[in-house]
Chain A
Amino acid sequence: MGVSRINARFKKLNLEGRSGLVTFTTAGDPDYNTALKILKGLPGAGADIIELGMPFSDPMADGLAIQEASIRALNGNMTLKKTLKMVRSFRKNDQDTPIVLMGYYNPIYIYGVQNFIGDALAAGIDGMIVVDLPPEEDKELAIPANDAGMAMIHLATPTTDQNRLKKILKNGSGFLYYVTIAGVTGTAKPDLKPVKAALDNFKEISQIPMAVGFGIKSPEDAAQFATFADAVVVGSAIVDIIKNNLNQENVANSDLEAKVLSFVSKLANGVQNARKKHGVPL
């Protein structure tokens, strides 16, 4: 399916006249089985797009919450191969919810770029966000991924001007991920106004759907950004719930999955009703 599953999802959101919720969790956090149960429950809880973290030993652009999620997963012997397996298992019951992998380049490079793109598409993965591949390195992965029909979601940030955006969008597909703050994941809540101004500015030169993420932690925050963004990403806040529902040996409490999904429902509620509540789309 690849990029077309993502495109279909944004079309649907557009028809419904609402923003979408993108959830982030790390594959294998806190363990393979619990992570899979969470993954399977996400669409029902209201996730419109699923971002799945590929654990990495050196997550340079992540704050503590997602760093620790990576470490928990790696301590449980999570690998990129098992991440693909997890998605294959998810796809048995869900053909509509796009799954986008997020992580760092080295594990993909070591897997082998062409093999990885093929195996990932076959597993039911639709796109990738690779944090340490700026457009200067598009030939590494973005171009072969696009050629194979896999979305390569590029990032734009507060340091991005219109010229740079053109370069970013050249081989960017699926959607644009706007990082709301100059910083790592899991930091303070961003101000609404500059984010909206940046997106307005970007919309002048591109029609690609634009998601916003970083620092969005509560259903209320999510609702605010959902008034104007095509999708809203929540990551560290979900990962924090996982962390807070582990026992002393880092084993999941029996109600961990329910707690995560209940929080996702609240986020979804906020996002889905944002424009109704706030009236006309901004």
Chain B
Amino acid sequence: MSDKNVNSFRNSPDEDGHFGIFGGRYVAETLMPLILEVEKTYRAAKNDPAFKKEFNELLKEYVGRPNPLYYAKRLTEHLGGAKIYFKREELNHTGAHKINNCVGQILLARRMGKTRIIAETGAGQHGVATATVCALFGMPCVIYMGAKDIERQKPNVFRMRLLGAEVIPVITGSESLKDSMNEAMRDWVGNVEDTFYIIGTVAGPHPYPELVRDFQCVIGNEAREQILEKEGRLPDSLVACVGGGSNAIGLFHPFLDDDVEMYAIEAAGHGVNTDKHAASLSGGMPGILHGNRTYLLMDDDGQIQEAHSISAGLDYPGIGPEHSHLHEIGRVKYVPIGDTEALAAFQLCSKLEGIIPALECAHAIAYICKLAPDLPKDHVMIMGLSGRGDKDIFTVAEALGEDI
């Protein structure tokens, strides 16, 4: 299938930002003119070779791309089935995929003449990546972070401050990622003149889910070239973790029209049948939050519920609208993996491959441990290793009952 195929899975969103029934622009009127301007600027930038060139150069020289597609030989042998490759996003500058998107968005901000940057963060990875590009471009940066997350991600908080960002604790609501996003929106409503909001995942009002996806597609585009070089063919399957879903869509999107299976792993916390999980597709229903229609965790009065995951980066009661769409049409399989399995996979990957993965993508590794053994040895599988786990060692130590 080609990109021009009308049946392509890669044509969304439509011009109002809809992926099927999901997406859209559900924001306060004050923000609308600005959001329309972001869209206009993005359309122009997308067609501007100079923008592309600057983006690609920064990815190469500053982020360190392309990163390797690494054959995880010991994990493959250990599981005894599918041949497993890791797309090494954890080797990027700042240690996760988040920086790809931040580089793109700060170029947009500058193009719009904005002089101040705000962002939300959960694990702190997006906050660190945003603070990093703000330092690089000499722009003041304000990061909203839930008080609860500040407590469990202290090293990243200090990193952001070192980079010159102001980290504002969010003490409203559940004090985690969704509330940080609310607070960032409130800031933006009050500072439309000079401020650009760098959203950290494929969520928010149109055009954010589209532009964040496009910036993250570098993951899948590189992986595609690399696997063709190594295996002489496309992979049989892709696996990635989903919080909002930016690393997953970045890996998947370039393969959506190919005969490739896709598995996206949601955080099941203590289990999707408990009230402590973050699996919005497995345990939620469609609703409206943060500018778009998507699957959300909520009660039957439409009040949004707190999510739970051992991984702060997956601890969000929603998911990007394109994922809700891909779920409903069945193109991608969404699978829940809980805290305990993720913790085990975190340790396994560290010991077998010498790579300490982020707790987020440890969820994807845990699923591979279930999936790979039953697959034939010529099944080629690529997993998005979205980040490194140094930030998580305190959380893991605590979960394992160890004092460090």
- A-to-B contact residues, CB < 8 Å: 55-64, 67, 71, 74, 79-81, 104-111, 131-134, 136-137, 154-161, 164, 168, 179, 181-184, 187
Shortest Cβ gap from B324 to chain A (Å):
14
Q: Quick check: is B151 within 8 A (CB to CB) of the other chain?
A: no
In contact, B29 and A74 (Cβ under 8 angstroms): no
- Whether the Cβ atoms of A136 and B301 lie closer than 8 Å is no
Cα distance A62–B172 in the bound complex, in angstroms: 12
Q: Which of A56, A60, A109, A132 has the most CB of B within 10 A?
A: A60
Q: Are B189 and A184 in contact (CB under 8 A)?
A: yes
Partner of A157, one of B30, B172, B296, B305: B30
The reply to whether the CB of B298 lies closer than 8 angstroms to some CB of chain A is yes
CA distance A184 to B182 in the complex (A): 11
- Extra 5 A-B pairs, beta carbons < 8 Å, given A109-B287, A132-B288, A155-B29: A58-B178, A58-B290, A58-B304, A60-B182, A61-B28
A107 contacts B26, C-beta separation under 8 Å? no
B192 interfacial contact with A, CB 8 Å: yes
Q: A227 to B175, alpha carbons, bound, how many Å?
A: 42
In contact, B192 and A110 (Cβ under 8 angstroms): no
A65: shortest Cβ distance to chain B, in Å?
12
What chain A residues lie within 8 Å of B191 (beta carbons)?
A: 182
List which B222-251 residues lie within 8 A (CB) of chain A: none
B185 touching A60 by the CB < 8 A rule?
Answer: yes
Across the interface, do A110 and B32 meet the contact criterion of CB distance under 8 Å? no
User: In the complex, what's the smallest C-beta–C-beta distance from B345 to chain A, in angstroms?
Assistant: 32
Give B25's nearest chain A residue, CB to CB.
Answer: A136
Given A134-B25, A159-B32: A183 touches B189 (CB 8 Å cut-off): yes
By beta carbon, the residue of chain A nearest B184 is A60
* Chain A residues near B179 (CB-CB < 8 A): 58
Please state if B304 and A106 are interface contacts (CB–CB under 8 Å): yes
Which chain A residue shows the least CB distance to B304?
A57
B167-220 at interface with A (beta carbon < 8 Å): 172-173, 178-179, 182, 185-186, 189-193
- Cα A168 to Cα B29 in complex, Å, equals 9
Name the residue of chain B whose CB is nearest to the CB of A156. B29
Q: How many angstroms from the CA of A60 to the CA of B302 in the assembled complex?
A: 15
Q: A58-B304, A106-B298, A134-B32 are in contact. Are A182 and B189 (CB under 8 A)?
A: yes
Give A156 to B182 CA distance when docked, in angstroms.
Answer: 21
Cβ A110 vs Cβ B301 within 8 A: yes
